[in-house]
Amino acid sequence: MDPESQRSYAELPSGEEAEEIHSNPTAVAENSRNRRIDLVLTLVGICCVAAGTFFWISLPSSNTENFLRIAPEGGFLASERTAFHFQPRNNWMNDPNGPLFHKGYYHLFYQYNPYGVEWGNISWGHAVSTDLLHWQHMDLAMQPDKWYDADGVWSGSATILPNGQVIMLYTGSTNASVQVQNLALPLNTSDPLLREWIKIPENPILVPPPGIAPKDFRDPTTAWLEADGLWRIAIGAKKGRAGLALIYKTFDFLHWELEEEYLHTVQGTGMWECIDFYPVSTATSNGLDTSKVQTNELTKHILKASLDDDKHDYYAIGLYSESSHTWIPDALDNDVGLGLRYDYGKYYASKTFFDSKHQKRILWGWANESDSLQDDIRKGWSSVQTLPRILYLDNLTGTNLIQWPIEEVEALRHDKVSRSNVLLKGGDVVEVDAAQGAQLDIEVGFEYPDASKLDALPESEIYDCSQGGATHRGVYGPFGLLVLAEDKLQEMTAVYFYMTLKRDGSWETRVCSDQSRSSLEPGIDTTVYGTLFHRLPTEDSLSLRVIVDHSIVETFVQGGRACITSRVYPTLATGDKARLFMFNNGTQPVFVKNLDAWKMRSTTLSVLPVTEWRLAARQS
């Protein structure tokens, strides 16, 4: 390799300089002479940015607040738009991309079709926030305007170098539909809002290696730093029916070398999309920064793949070896694609990032619609992002992750309603008065039933939630909550527990989310989602947290050991007509130890076009 070309990103030009190099190579020679002028310009730039930022923060709320929350059409479709989940102003959205925290602002980029409610014309939408809940939409960060991404600016991830340089790696689908990897930089890294992005002249930086088909090479991870001083990324691929993660190393993000071994591969799992690979601490719930060397005896590594075949996000816990650059799962039967999922409902193409403000790892995931295309056209939008979730290893079990909504969500709560010590006999349905509304956060704890009190044990049973959903009558279960329920229960979404006796005489508990009676509208998805989850013998409660936001119901079980996201479309149980009930449809009584329900405030989604930002900065 030519030593002259060995520049690391620590010394590489800023975005502005890079663009200058692209358009005028002689500018490079002038570079050092212009340093002092640059400094002055930078200071002016910082002042402008600061002025722009101040302008935004001080904008009168009536200008912006929540107008993007109002759906363009009346009727029940209007009530489907969420109030505190992330959505673009309109049109199609899919994967979250390149989430990051930079100079006081969280950034979320996302796969976006600026021209319609279906997947296509894929560009990168961009929004900024100071709390991950209230968002300011920015101009598109990237559009398919180069030969190497003409067919779409597909998914990618951000890396923040120790010197603060932000690097965005993404997949371009070329004008010949070949999947290649590209690099983009902020035009001005000192801009906290990272308003403009440039694609570097060296693109594409990676093309499919021998043996990998041109359409099976996508979605670079965030780069992680290893003890040898090199950065590594993983990229999803497949060979035959084996899903796999390729691993590349680099010292400067321009020159890359493919490692001999795959990071990991699993037969029969098909194409791995949107791989995520990150360390978790076995000692604390704090997140770990991949821009620092992290592999030691107190870390495990999570490998996540989004399986193109079944559109679910699977993860596994394992050990990463910095000497072989391979990862081995702790449990072979829980390998990637075979066992654990982040979420057992509608949830795909997720991505984590390290939040340096709170020292936490945060997970974003995409929840697609499950209504019809016609409905999406009438609504004018399609898809939401689930609430950002803190993610860490469950140090009580050691065998699963914990996911929990970021703490800021609790600041949206108001008008708390509480119940405690409620006995629910078989067949009881009890309304939680004063907890009406389509925006709720509910926490409920049921006493874990004592099966030794049964007169006779039931037959062992196979139940995976789909047999009859919440109407199937068992011994202990279904019992739980009815959310977005209409007065006469013509519409309701049941989130509940169901216990089954296994052949070996032990009980196991499932959590289910039943969409089959969520809406009277015909033709929408009526799946009953569900999964088994861990309850430790020392835990005498079964707990649920259910967050309701018009057309999305996010459920967190047993403190976040399992999650289910449902998309639901009530026609009657909308707004204040939506009610909350506790229910027990099992034959045995169950006991509600405590229930707290809060109404939830809406968050702000607003748009201020870049041109206005510039104007504001100039005027001040």
In the list 16, 216, 219, 335, the residue contacting ligand DQQ (rule: CB under 6 A) is 219
CA distance 345 to 615: 44
Given 122, 235, 440, 590, the residue binding ligand DQQ (CB under 6 A): 122
Residue 274 Cβ, how far from ligand DQQ at the closest point, in Å?
5
Looking at 2, 95, 333, 455, which residue is catalytic? Answer: 95
Measured from the CB of residue 155, what is the shortest distance to ligand DQQ in angstroms?
A: 3
The only residue of 168, 302, 307, 349 in contact with ligand DQQ, by rule CB under 6 A:
349
The residues facing 334 across adjacent strands are: none
Tell me the C-alpha distance between 531 and 448, whole Å. 18
In order of 92, 140, 175, 450, 501, the CA distances from 67 in angstroms are 18, 19, 37, 51, 51
Residues 303-332 that bind ligand DQQ (CB under 6 A): 306
Nearest-CB residue for ligand DQQ: 154
* Closer by beta carbon to ligand DQQ, 88 or else 560: 88
Q: Which residues contact 34 (CB under 8 A, 6 or more apart)?
A: none
> How far apart (Å, rounded) are the C-alpha atoms in residues 432 and 471?
20
- Per the document, the length of the chain is 620
Output the smallest distance, CB 248 to ligand DQQ, in A: 17
Which 235-254 positions form the footprint of ligand DQQ (CB under 6 A)? none
Tokens of 514: 């039943």
The owner of tokens 């070398």 is: 257
Among 112, 124, 154, 533, binds ligand DQQ (CB under 6 A): 154
Compare residues 305 and 499 and give the one whose CB is closer to ligand DQQ: 305
| Cβ 443 to ligand DQQ shortest distance, Å | 32
Q: Output the smallest distance, CB 549 to ligand DQQ, in A.
A: 22
Tell me: does residue 94 bind ligand DQQ (CB under 6 A).
Answer: yes
Q: Compute, in degrees rounded to 10, the torsion defined by CA atoms 108, 113, 119, 124.
A: -40
Minimum distance of ligand DQQ from residue 299's CB (angstroms): 27
Which of 274, 305, 564, 568 contacts ligand DQQ by CB under 6 A? 274
Closer of 216 and 596 to ligand DQQ (Cβ)? 216
Report the residue number, 262 or 496, with the smaller CB distance to ligand DQQ.
Answer: 262
> What is the distance between the alpha carbons of residues 428 and 589, in angstroms, rounded to a whole number?
9
Residues 367 and 291: their CA atoms lie apart, in Å, by 29
CB-nearer residue toward ligand DQQ: 149 or 491: 149
CB 478 to ligand DQQ: min, Å? 33
| Closer CB to ligand DQQ, 174 or 493, in the complex | 174
**How many C-beta atoms surround the C-beta of residue 28 within 10 A?**
12
- Closest by alpha carbon to 217, among 184, 172, 261? 172
Rounded-to-integer distance, Cα 304 and Cα 96, Å: 15
Nearest one of 325, 324, 305 to 316, comparing CA atoms: 305
Kindly tell me which of 273 and 375 has the beta carbon lying closer to ligand DQQ: 273
Query: Is 219 or 371 the residue whose CB approaches ligand DQQ more closely?
Result: 219
Q: Can you give 502-521 as a three-state secondary structure string?
A: CCCCCEEEEEEEECCCCCCC
Residue 526 CB-half CA count within 13 A: 13
Short-list 274, 253, 243, CA closest to 111: 274
Q: Of the two residues 311 and 416, which places its CB atom closer to ligand DQQ in the complex?
A: 311
Rule CB under 6 A: choose which of 16, 19, 20, 95 binds ligand DQQ: 95
Catalytic residue check, 95: yes
| Closest separation in Å from C-beta 94 to ligand DQQ | 5
Min separation Cβ 349 and ligand DQQ, Å: 4
Spacing of C-alpha 618 from chain mean position: 36
Nearest CA to 570 out of 597, 552, 544, 546 is that of 552
The nearer residue to ligand DQQ, 122 or 442, going by C-beta atoms, is 122
Q: What is the DSSP string of 243-283?
A: EEEEEEEESSSSSEEE-SS-SEEETT---EEEEEEEEEESS
Asked whether 248 and 184 are in contact (CB, 8 A), the reply is no
Nearest approach, Cβ of residue 531 and ligand DQQ (Å): 22
Q: Give me the torsion for CA of 472, 473, 475, 481, rounded to 10°.
A: 70
Taking residue 525's Cβ as centre, other Cβ atoms within 10 Å add up to: 18
List 111, 165, 265, 509, residue binding ligand DQQ (CB under 6 A): 111
Binding ligand DQQ by CB under 6 A: which of 195, 199, 218, 561?
218
Residue 89 DSSP one-character state: S
Antiparallel, parallel or unpaired: β 528-532 and 166-173? unpaired
Closest CA to 423 of 543, 582, 598, 535: 582
Contact at 8 Å (CB) between 505 and 578?
Answer: no
Smallest distance from the beta carbon of 273 to ligand DQQ, in angstroms? 4
- Which is closer to ligand DQQ, CB of 134 or CB of 218? 218
How many residues contact ligand DQQ, by CB under 6 A? 13
Catalytic residues: 95
Rule CB under 6 A: which residues touch ligand DQQ? 94-95, 111, 122, 154-155, 171, 218-219, 273-274, 306, 349
